[in-house]
Amino acid sequence: MTAIKHALQRDIFTPNDERLLSIVNVCKAGKKKKNCFLCATVTTERPVQVKVVKVKKSDKGDFYKRQMAWELRDLTEVDARDANKDNPEFDLHFEKVYRWVASSTAEKNSFISCIWKLNQRYLRKKLEFVNVSPQLLEESVPSGESQSVAGGDEDVLDDYQELNTREEQDIESMMEVCEYAISNAEGFAEKLSRELQVLDGANIQSIMASEKQVNLLMQLLDHALSEVDNIEGKLLSYEEMLQSVKEQMDQISQSNRLIQISKTNNDKLLDEIQFLVNYMDLSKGHIKALQEGDLSSPKGIEACINASEALSQCMNVALKPGHDKLLAVKQQQRLFTELKDTFARRLTNHLNNVFVYQFNHFSHFKMTIPQFYRSSCLSLPGHDQSNTLAQHTADLTLPKHSPLHRDLLRYAKLMEWLKNTQRDKYEGLSRTYVDYMTRLYEREIKDFFEVAKIKMAGSSKDVKGKFGLHGSSGKLTGSTSSLNKLAVTSSNSKRSQSSSLLDMGNMSASDLDVADRTRFDKIFEQVLSELEPLCLAEQDFISKFFKLQQHSTPAQGENVDDADGIVHSRPPSEHRISISEKDMVRLMMNKIFQSIEMELNSLIALGDKVDSFNSLYMLVKISHHVLTAENVDPASYLSTTLGNVLVTVKRNFDKCISGQIRQMEEVKISKKSKVGILQFVTGFEEFAKLAEAIFRNAERRGDLDKAYIKLIRAVFNNVEKVANESQKTPRDVVMMENFHHIFSTLSSLKISCLETERKDAKQKYTEHLQSYVINSLGQPLEKLNHFFEGVEARVAQGVREEEVSYQLAFNKQELRKVIKEYPGKEVKKGLDNLYKKVDKHLCDEENLLQVVWHSMQDEFIRQYKHFEGLINRCYPGSGITMEFTIQDMLEYFSSIAQSH
């Protein structure tokens, strides 16, 4: 940069009598980088002119040229863009704003500082410096690059000091007194020098004249020093006296400090003793309650609860460092430990006795098979034959355990104390409770489901007649497998329903045995309604009694089924060392109700074997109860178990639908009789009516819609398959009748997901109706049809319509000959035969005969008009007409329809 400055000074500014003071390498902001130099210059002649010159390097050679110059007095504002950060951008405001980007921030700052100093020295105008650091405006131009260009002139610029106003006024007054101050500057300077010498001499004389006063001042100073010495002596004596007082005060302060320390220690000792007495002392009443308290009475339980809480507070008190070394504290801690162990042992033994008593008490009230079931149909060995709870079995209800829960919940706080103090005894009690309740619930649930299954089988008379059981020969044990055998036997009896669309098509409403399905629906709903409060009540009791917190978020041990969106439980790992309280609730519930899921699956299998359409009822009921359970607690045992069962029911439902489709595909038709409405078509209608009744306002409507789509597609495909295989009935008739029936069914049921299929069925019905009509009408006027087909063929070959009559095979004589073969009587006879044939093709169920006949009438009239049009165009002026008129045709169709 120094070389550039010297080159610019030599080549550009020296020839113009200018000095270069500062330079900055810049380019225009926001454009392609074309570097140039901004130079701050002053003229060497007075008056001094300050300029900012833009210099650019020539494109053709290594020399510089002056491109643009601005007067500094035209500059109104300098904007450094940012005073706090290093930013090379700055703006100069002349007649317009020029935005520049310097090659470095140091060059920009040096250039702005030079502009400020030139303004202060030569212009003194109000120039705005925006976003410029104040230090930059106060410091001098740095020595180095900026000063090297101008040499010694810059030093003069920096050493120059301006005169102030007063000095200017004094110089002006002196110059006014001296007439030759301007014309003879040397003489004026000599005059000023002589006057200065005169003034210096006067000052020296004045100083010498004041010697007496100086001597007097020295005397006074000596006197003052002597007085200072006297005062210092007195101060020393006072200091000795104060030192004595200080020593006495220090002794008093030491005594007071020792007294204060003694008082502080005594206060702290009293606080410690008071703390130990307050928090480490257990009243005699509490000790007696822990050792001898009655755990069977409400008052005794309350006293034990208070005593256990007090004991916990004493044992859990936060001792300060050193307390545990005190003998009294150690004795109290041993006493507390003994009381804790004694009370925990008493509480564990008492609760074990309560569990045994409650189990034995409720064992007398277990579910039993009603007497009329045992005597008439089956015997359950090993079961209590008493009728203690006949009401439970008759109404299909489970015993309520609320009395047991109510009695045990009195010990909930004690169980919490046991959980916090004696974890091993707490877990032992948990296992004992689970063991007893598992056996109790297993009996009750097993008997409950046996009764439910027998109720599904019907009355004792039905059981005898339909299951082949006579008296004791049809003995049924109390196991689930025995009832499954009963279901297998039922599948071969008259009562067993195959539940296929083929069978439903042949059954009336009475044949479907709606009462049996209704009974099954009510029994299944009753089973779920009984299990739901039972499980929720037991889970709520476990969480309250054993003080186990529950959360609604899904646990890590749960899986979500992708297909059905159901939460399934996953067995916990045997190697888990610590399990959460939520997992403990789940484990206890799984152990207690381990038979519920198995019994439910067994009941579902029985219902599916009795009637596969029962899966529709079960799907709706289970789905409803799953949603209800999830709303209460998504992570509950009931929600998880019902979710697993729902998967089984959904699979049975899918299997039922697949079975119906398979039976459609295997259907065979008679070769000797007309087809009519296919059995699986009417069966689909009955299935849809049944499903709509069952799934009304159901949550899992989507499953039924998917099944509808599968079934209707199978129906469509198999109708076409049967129509193609039919030999007795025309294909169009089979398609027309069955798709008309399907269209009518879908229109009446208004199933939204099958709206497209409803339109397709209507289209197929219309197409095949039209096809059947056209194919059938070609027979009564066969020769006439062939004649005019030949005429149309000639016209299509290029023969003009009016020239057709000149063709030998299609002249007027041939036309008259063909028309004479179809007089009115022949036409009516042919239509009568056609009506009989159509009547033989069509079935009676759909009542489509009149619809087809009317369509044939319209088609016949269309053909008649077509023939007349051909006659008028191809045989103009011949006077040839048909032997019968449109009115005659209408009378023929009407009379034939009325006669049959």
CATH code assigned to 1-136: 2.30.29.90
Of residues 383 and 345, which shows the higher confidence score?
Answer: 345
Report how far apart the first and last C-alpha atoms of the chain are (Å, whole number): 123
- The token pair at 75 is 């500059």
Pairing mode of beta strands 128-130, 77-79: parallel
Helix, strand, or coil here: 296?
Answer: coil
Q: In the structure, what pLDDT confidence band is assigned to residue 579 with cuts at 50, 70 and 90?
A: low
Q: Which amino acid appears at position 821 of this protein?
A: E
Q: Are 430 and 355 in contact (CB under 8 A)?
A: no
Beta-bridge mates of residue 821:
none
Q: In the structure, what pLDDT confidence band is assigned to residue 304 with cuts at 50, 70 and 90?
A: very high
Q: What pLDDT, in 10s, does the model give residues 38-84?
A: 999 999 888 888 999 999 887 776 778 888 899 988 888 898 888 78
| Contacts (Cβ under 8 Å, ≥6 apart) of 460 | 372, 373, 376, 377
Q: Which amino acid appears at position 633 of this protein?
A: D
- Give me the pLDDT at residue 247, please: 87
What are the residue ranges of helices labelled H in 695-823? Answer: 701-725, 731-749, 755-777, 782-796, 812-820
What mean pLDDT do residues 85-114 have? 88
- Give me the pLDDT at residue 811, please: 86
- Give me the pLDDT at residue 859, please: 81
Q: Which amino acid appears at position 88 of this protein?
A: P
Helix, strand, or coil here: 41?
Answer: strand
Prior bond of 15 cis (ω within 30°): no
Percent of all residues in the chain with a pLDDT value above 70, rounded to a whole number:
82
- The token pair at 455 is 């109720």
SS (H, E, C) 543-567: HHHCCCCCCCCCCCCEEECCCCCCE
Q: Tell me the torsion sign for CA atoms 341, 343, 346, 351.
A: negative
Q: What pLDDT, in 10s, does the model give residues 316-343?
A: 888 888 888 888 888 888 988 999 999 9
Torsion of CA 40, 43, 48, 50, to 10 degrees: -20
Of residues 768 and 483, which shows the higher confidence score?
Answer: 768
| Contacts (Cβ under 8 Å, ≥6 apart) of 454 | 369, 373, 377, 378, 463, 483
Please determine, for residue 792, whether its predicted confidence score (pLDDT) is greater than 80. Answer: yes
Helix, strand, or coil here: 91?
Answer: strand
Please determine, for residue 550, whether its predicted confidence score (pLDDT) is greater than 60. Answer: no
Of 447-461, 561-575, 609-623, minimum mean pLDDT range: 561-575
Residue 568's CB is within 10 A of a number of other CB atoms, namely: 15
Of 7-21, 451-465, 731-745, 861-875, minimum mean pLDDT range: 451-465
CA 782 distance to own-chain centroid: 72
Helix, strand, or coil here: 440?
Answer: helix
Q: What pLDDT, in 10s, does the model give residues 764-790?
A: 988 988 887 877 776 567 788 888 888
Q: Are 618 and 607 in contact (CB under 8 A)?
A: yes
Q: What pLDDT, in 10s, does the model give residues 277-300?
A: 887 888 889 889 889 989 999 999
E strand or H helix at 601, and its extent?
Answer: helix 596-610
Of residues 737 and 368, which shows the higher confidence score?
Answer: 737
Please determine, for residue 481, whether its predicted confidence score (pLDDT) is greater than 70. Answer: no
Q: In the structure, what pLDDT confidence band is assigned to residue 161 with cuts at 50, 70 and 90?
A: low
- Give me the pLDDT at residue 431, please: 92
Q: What is the DSSP code (8-state) at residue 40?
A: E
Q: How far apart are CA 809 and CA 815, in angstroms?
A: 9
Q: In the structure, what pLDDT confidence band is assigned to residue 737 with cuts at 50, 70 and 90?
A: confident
- Give me the pLDDT at residue 23, please: 92
Please determine, for residue 346, whether its predicted confidence score (pLDDT) is greater than 70. Answer: yes
Q: In the structure, what pLDDT confidence band is assigned to residue 672 with cuts at 50, 70 and 90?
A: low
Q: Are 146 and 96 in contact (CB under 8 A)?
A: no
- Give me the pLDDT at residue 591, please: 92
Of residues 456 and 555, which shows the higher confidence score?
Answer: 456
Residue 781's CB is within 10 A of a number of other CB atoms, namely: 24
Q: In the structure, what pLDDT confidence band is assigned to residue 152 with cuts at 50, 70 and 90?
A: very low
Helix, strand, or coil here: 130?
Answer: strand
Please determine, for residue 153, whether its predicted confidence score (pLDDT) is greater than 80. Answer: no
Of residues 465 and 802, which shows the higher confidence score?
Answer: 802
Backbone angles phi, psi at 647, to 5 degrees: -60, -40
Beta-bridge mates of residue 71:
51
- Give me the pLDDT at residue 869, please: 87
**DSSP letters along 651-670, please?**
HHHHHHHHHHHHHHHT----
- Residue position matching structure tokens 């040229």: 65
Q: Tell me the torsion sign for CA atoms 722, 727, 731, 733.
A: negative
Q: In the structure, what pLDDT confidence band is assigned to residue 882 with cuts at 50, 70 and 90?
A: confident
* Cβ burial, residue 199 (10 Å; 0-12/13-18/19+): exposed
Q: What pLDDT, in 10s, does the model give residues 233-275?
A: 889 989 888 988 888 898 999 999 999 999 999 988 888 888 8
Of 19-33, 356-370, 807-821, 869-883, minimum mean pLDDT range: 356-370
Q: Are 727 and 671 in contact (CB under 8 A)?
A: yes
Q: What pLDDT, in 10s, does the model give residues 675-705?
A: 788 888 888 888 888 888 888 887 778 888 8
pTM, entire model? 0.55
| Contacts (Cβ under 8 Å, ≥6 apart) of 632 | 536, 639
Please determine, for residue 830, whether its predicted confidence score (pLDDT) is greater than 80. Answer: no
Mean pLDDT, all residues of the chain: 78
Q: What pLDDT, in 10s, does the model give residues 177-211?
A: 777 766 777 777 788 888 888 888 887 777 777 77
| Contacts (Cβ under 8 Å, ≥6 apart) of 501 | 660, 663, 664, 679, 680, 683, 684, 686, 687, 711
Please determine, for residue 132, whether its predicted confidence score (pLDDT) is greater than 70. Answer: yes
**SS percent in the chain: helix, strand, coil, step 5:** 70, 5, 25
Q: Are 16 and 41 in contact (CB under 8 A)?
A: no
- Give me the pLDDT at residue 468, please: 31
